[in-house]
Structure 1
Amino acid sequence: MYTLIKEKNSRNIEVIKIKDHYSNRMIALNSQVSPQKEMEKFVGNLQNNKCYFIIGSGNGTLLQCLKDLNLKSKIYILEPFKEIDYPDDLKKELAEKNIYFFQFEGINSLYISDAIKNAMGMECEILFHPNYDKLGKQFLEPIIKKMEEATITAVINKNTEKHFRFDWLIEPILNLSLSKNGKNLLELKEKFESRPFILVASGPSLVENLNFIQKNKDKAYIIASGSAVNGLINNGITPDFVTVIDSSIINFTAHFKNTKYSGPIITTGTTNHLILKHHKGELYFTNFSIDTITSEARPDLLYIPAVSSVAIYSLLLTHFLGASEVFLVGQDLALKDGKYYAKGVHEHEGAKNIGNIIEVEGNISGKVKTTLNLSSMLENINNAVSSIQQNNKNIKIYNLSKIGAKINGVPFKDKNEIILNEIIDKSWIPQNIYTKEIDYSLSLEYYNKITKCKEEVDDIARKIEKINKKAVTLKDLEKLLKLIKKLRENEMLETHILNMIYSTTKSINNMFEFGFENNFQTNEERVDMLNKLTTFVKVVQQYLEELIHHKDWPDMFKKGEQ
């Protein structure tokens, strides 16, 4: 507990003080003599081409000093106290100079991990506003914990990008004949508007809520997220739709290869092509922000932002389709008896290796055990719920899990208290079964664009190699930049390829925006530029080489390459 006091002292200086009721201490958050000099000294130590996270803002003098400094860096100010805020106009001015102010209460670790992601190639540093380091640990520990969580999430996201850097391009290309002719959910939006949805995930509490799903299967749309389909089918319930976005072959072999489900699937181009190729039911496609191939072929489809799990994808779907209520079943994000899959769900080997176990707030009370991956997913779903609720005041979301983790903004709802009265006409949902005809002609066109892109990159790389790496003249620099400009004018590369190596690309973009102070007047700066751009081109070359020869291309693609 604390009391925040704003006062003007005898020097007419606004001073913000914290009365810590735990320690009975009074702490001034800014200088009581000269806040201006205090902040000038503080910001004088900041450097260009860095990413700073500054904890605390004091009486606001820091913000004005940073604004006047015109530093070529990214700065994120995280204020622990909800009583300290600034006008939106000032925040907008600061954002134009890459200075961002957040109140800690309104920020989760995903915002911070995104900031880290957007600072690729820049050194990151955490600083305390003077005097904030004198605060008790109860004020600082939550924000430090968020920083730690964000760092873990940033590493997970970077590893995910690396793991799927080929799949997220290959699968949309191989799915083109299906996505090109796939059905558009937007044409059916009126069927879903103002209707309740039951979203089924694969968590342990799925089994405990089977009777609720069975009881309300005619009164709500039932969507099974990915692997949850088998948890339902194996317990005698057929969902109305199944959602799937995962490009991994494991997703096909573990969950869909032998499934008995033949109803409609709602999907994205990133889904493993074997799942869609062998599925005998209807396919509804949406665009997905990490998939630039499908959106180029089908700009008319519903657009869904990139998310980390199919469960969050399903939740966003209900928002965009105009659901009235959403009941989350099996969305535990926690362990039960050391497992996070419900009985009846097909497990793959990766699910058995749960890694480190931590505790998070439970959905009803107390703490529940979960994994680092599930904890990261919890942050993602918290972020998704927050975004939905900011944009949609009508939708109501409930979590039926008694054993699960607490999702912010989503209250627990006892299944016995839920009464749905109106029967939904589902006769329009297609149940036709047919074998997919796959035509790879358009996919081959994209593959050929990739090979031509590789040829152009190789040619530019050869020309860059001829530049003297020890003494780079301004004329050499001009030639280098023209070659890079030509490289990025390649539509296949700029639109599709660079997205798959985002960390490297963002690092180069940050270098151009923040990295050089003297306008390349020194040979050292020009050599540094040459070395970094040479590395960038080599990364692109290597990626294209591995992409062209990737094992997931069908034989006809490899023959076309010979």
Structure 2
Amino acid sequence: MTMLKNNLELLKKRYPEIYNEIKDIHVDSNAYQIIQNNEGQKTLKVTLDLYGENKSFFLHSKYHPDVEADRFAREQYKPEFSIQILYGFGLGYHVEKIAGLLKPDSMLYVIENNLMVFRSALENMDLCPILENRNVSLIVSKDVGYISEKVKELIDNNLDKVSFITHPASLKAIPEENEYFKFVMENWNLKKSITDDYDNTLRNNAKENLKLNSPNVGIFFDKFKDVPIIIVSTGPSLDKNIDLLKEAKGRALIISAGSALRPLLMRNIKPDFFAIIDPQDITYNQIKGYENIGIPFIYLVTAASYTVSRYLGPKLVAYYGKYNNSSEHLVDSGGSVATTILDIAIKMGGNPIILVGQDLAYVDGKNHAQYGSHASIYSPELKNMRRVKGQNGEMLYTSLGLLSYKYWIENRIQKEKRIFINATEGGAYIEGMKHIKLRDVISDYLKESFDFENKIKSILKESGIQHVQG
């Protein structure tokens, strides 16, 4: 009996659904090539067309795949969790090693989305130890909806018992047509790497910020129904139309990211609110010299307490997730200051909601506007760089973080029945938004004037804050 036949019979017996999906798959030998080392151990060389370029990589070490798999298993396996969820079957080396570390009452669930890879493993490796192991369960399918449903079910039923493991080379092999699924898996891997020090910083900031007893930003929820709200970020395209925001003043509520505060004030444009969510003390540079301007400052409860404490104007706290302080008013931060402001703007009742300076990509080698506090230059070779469609159909480089914000925005706005406009005039195309130049937005959508200052002052006064515009 050949190895493939034996593997397929075991697969059919235990995983009939996977068998039916894999049995007629023919491996493209140009894209998936088996390479053997001097000892006869095999690895898989994968060559894929990624963003118009052929990229080749190995799923396992060319020289010692078994040794590499053993090290990977010992580094990634967490014995304190009864359920391990692994993305990436590869040729099975690391799967068998992790399975060997499992306790008798533990389970390893292995996800694989690339059927060519799994078929290659069936054809070239003795998978009996994996296929017969009752502590190992396979979730293999080209249907990402099916995979997501299975994983969600596992997490929902075993919330505190799950450890996530990702096999980095396998992430690269996720088919390009499943771009969003690939992003989810990569982002999952990225979030896993958040350090204990970072968590401690969040907790310490929250502890200090809670002492301020600032009113909840929720006092402004539903107070600006059907009022235009402009969210100003510091993407490189902000330099194209920032001066036009003078014409929008008083015709739309302007909420600025902290990084955009300085560029606006340098042009004598005062936003109605500004917001900071970053937990790092370096954010103080965003308000340095403007500590007493009197503009209401929205801060995430975990934002840098050093920065928050030094601002002398009105302050509003935003609670989220586990840092909720039992509040009835919570925000969904989405991970960036712009996504946080977007959620707040929606809850304020804004319509239309207009983005300015939200490039979500690198434009002309920059990721921030000229006077933004985080400006930097990119290299296309940076780890985790991706390509996204631009507003004019061009392909732009973006980072995994920026891509996560783009997807978050797209998912968030699809739930809302109101108008969302991207007036950034550059950068990534955002699904679900109208893409309109800011000058046209001002003439077509901002036809009414509002006394925002007095309305904000009145709401703050009801909450016991004296509003002082500097």
Q: TM-score, normalised by structure 2?
A: 0.62
- Offset at residue 278 of structure 1 (A): 1.3
CA 1:236 to 1:306, structure 2 compared with 1: closer, same or farther past 3 Å? closer
Residue 406 of structure 1 pairs with residue 429 of structure 2? yes
CA 1:40 to 1:78, structure 2 compared with 1: closer, same or farther past 3 Å? closer
User: Partner of 1:170: helix, strand, or coil?
Assistant: helix
Residue 156 of structure 1 pairs with residue 190 of structure 2? yes
Residue 142 of structure 1 pairs with residue 177 of structure 2? yes
Counterpart for residue 450 of structure 2: 424
Distance across 2 between alignment mates of 1:365 and 1:118? 44
User: Partner of 1:368: helix, strand, or coil?
Assistant: strand
- Residues 134-533 of structure 1 aligned to structure 2 (within 5 Å): 140-143=175-178, 146=180, 149-178=183-212, 180=213, 182-252=214-284, 254-259=285-290, 261-291=293-323, 295-296=324-325, 299-347=326-374, 351=376, 356=382, 358-370=386-398, 372=399, 375-390=400-415, 392=416, 394-418=417-441, 419=444, 420-426=446-452, 427-430=454-457, 432-433=467-468
Distance across 2 between alignment mates of 1:321 and 1:389? 17
Q: Deviations over 1:287-328 (max 9, x none)?
A: 12142xxx33xx235212343211111111122222211111
- Offset at residue 42 of structure 1 (A): 5.2
Is this contact kept in 1: 2:351–2:418, CA < 8 A?
Answer: yes
Distance across 1 between alignment mates of 2:138 and 2:272? 47
Is this contact kept in 2: 1:73–1:98, CA < 8 A?
Answer: no
Counterpart for residue 517 of structure 1: none
Distance across 1 between alignment mates of 2:351 and 2:251? 12
User: Partner of 2:256: helix, strand, or coil?
Assistant: strand
- Residues 115-126 of structure 1 aligned to structure 2 (within 5 Å): 119-120=162-163
Distance across 2 between alignment mates of 1:191 and 1:156? 37
Q: Larger relative CO (CA 8 A, sep 6+): 1 or 2?
A: 1
Is this contact kept in 1: 2:361–2:402, CA < 8 A?
Answer: no
- Offset at residue 151 of structure 1 (A): 4.7
- Offset at residue 249 of structure 1 (A): 1.0
Distance across 2 between alignment mates of 1:126 and 1:343? 37
User: Partner of 1:345: helix, strand, or coil?
Assistant: coil
Is this contact kept in 1: 2:367–2:377, CA < 8 A?
Answer: no
- Matched AA of 1:284: L
- Offset at residue 281 of structure 1 (A): 1.0
CA 1:232 to 1:326, structure 2 compared with 1: closer, same or farther past 3 Å? same
- Matched AA of 1:326: I
Counterpart for residue 39 of structure 1: 15
| CA RMSD across the alignment | 4.1
CA 1:314 to 1:118, structure 2 compared with 1: closer, same or farther past 3 Å? farther
- Matched AA of 1:169: R
Which one of 131, 150, 154 corresponds to residue 98 of structure 1?
A: 154
CA 1:339 to 1:37, structure 2 compared with 1: closer, same or farther past 3 Å? same
CA 1:74 to 1:257, structure 2 compared with 1: closer, same or farther past 3 Å? farther
**Identity %, equivalent residues:** 21
CA 1:283 to 1:73, structure 2 compared with 1: closer, same or farther past 3 Å? farther
- Offset at residue 388 of structure 1 (A): 3.4
User: Partner of 2:222: helix, strand, or coil?
Assistant: helix
CA 1:343 to 1:301, structure 2 compared with 1: closer, same or farther past 3 Å? farther
Is this contact kept in 1: 2:294–2:312, CA < 8 A?
Answer: yes
Aligned residues: 344
User: Partner of 1:274: helix, strand, or coil?
Assistant: helix
Distance across 2 between alignment mates of 1:242 and 1:99? 37
Show structure 1 runs of 5+ residues with no match. Answer: 1-30, 58-68, 101-114, 128-136, 435-562
- Offset at residue 231 of structure 1 (A): 1.6
Q: Deviations over 1:353-384 (max 9, x none)?
A: 767265321022211233x2xx4322333224
Distance across 1 between alignment mates of 2:161 and 2:440? 45
Q: Deviations over 1:211-268 (max 9, x none)?
A: 432112111110001211112111221100001111101112x312333643101122
Task: Give the number of the structure whose residues are more often helix, by fraction.
Answer: 1
Counterpart for residue 53 of structure 1: 111
Distance across 1 between alignment mates of 2:402 and 2:166? 26
User: Partner of 2:402: helix, strand, or coil?
Assistant: helix
- Offset at residue 269 of structure 1 (A): 1.3
CA 1:323 to 1:245, structure 2 compared with 1: closer, same or farther past 3 Å? same
- Offset at residue 72 of structure 1 (A): 6.7
Distance across 2 between alignment mates of 1:401 and 1:250? 26
Q: Deviations over 1:78-118 (max 9, x none)?
A: 54599xx89xxxx98x6786299xxxxxxxxxxxxxx9x99
Counterpart for residue 78 of structure 2: none
User: Partner of 1:192: helix, strand, or coil?
Assistant: coil
- Offset at residue 172 of structure 1 (A): 0.8
CA 1:262 to 1:210, structure 2 compared with 1: closer, same or farther past 3 Å? same
User: Partner of 1:222: helix, strand, or coil?
Assistant: strand
CA 1:70 to 1:432, structure 2 compared with 1: closer, same or farther past 3 Å? farther
Q: Deviations over 1:28-51 (max 9, x none)?
A: xxx9x9x965834958x9976223
CA 1:38 to 1:77, structure 2 compared with 1: closer, same or farther past 3 Å? closer
Show structure 2 runs of 5+ residues with no match. Answer: 1-7, 20-91, 100-105, 116-131, 458-465
